[in-house]
């Protein structure tokens, strides 16, 4: 995948840290295989490879990609829908396994 991005491409990961092999990413960044990266999640959170901090073409954030007004509104709507379903005697829309 990194090779497919090419030297003009940027890798952005806001999904799961395990989606990206950080060693392969570091190699691609150091050799110019890709242009840069933006990471909000990390392979071994909370541990982040120190080398990522040293690269000028990498932007790092502390796992806050889901901290938006829209995300909070969706979470609230989900909770309210589950409460409404429960009080109506129906199963919740998003049950939590025990």
User: Which residues are catalytically annotated?
Assistant: 16, 45, 63
DSSP string, 9-54: -EEEE-S-GGGS-HHHHHHHHHHTSSSEEEESS-TBTTB--HHHHH
In sequence order, the 6+-apart residues with CB closer than 8 A to the CB of 76 are none
Bridge partners (DSSP) of residue 44 are: 47
Strand (E) or helix (H) holding 58? strand 58-60
């Amino acid at each position: 995948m990194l090779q497919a991005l090419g030297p003009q491409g940027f890798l952005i990961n806001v999904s799961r840290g395990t989606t990206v092999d950080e060693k392969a990413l570091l190699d691609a960044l150091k050799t110019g295989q890709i242009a840069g990266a933006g990471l909000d999640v990390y392979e071994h959170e909370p541990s982040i490879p120190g080398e990522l901090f040293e690269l000028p073409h990498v932007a790092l954030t502390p796992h806050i990609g889901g901290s938006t007004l829209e995300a909070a509104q969706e979470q609230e709507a989900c909770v309210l829908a589950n409460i409404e379903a429960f009080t109506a005697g129906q199963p919740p829309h998003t049950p939590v396994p025990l």
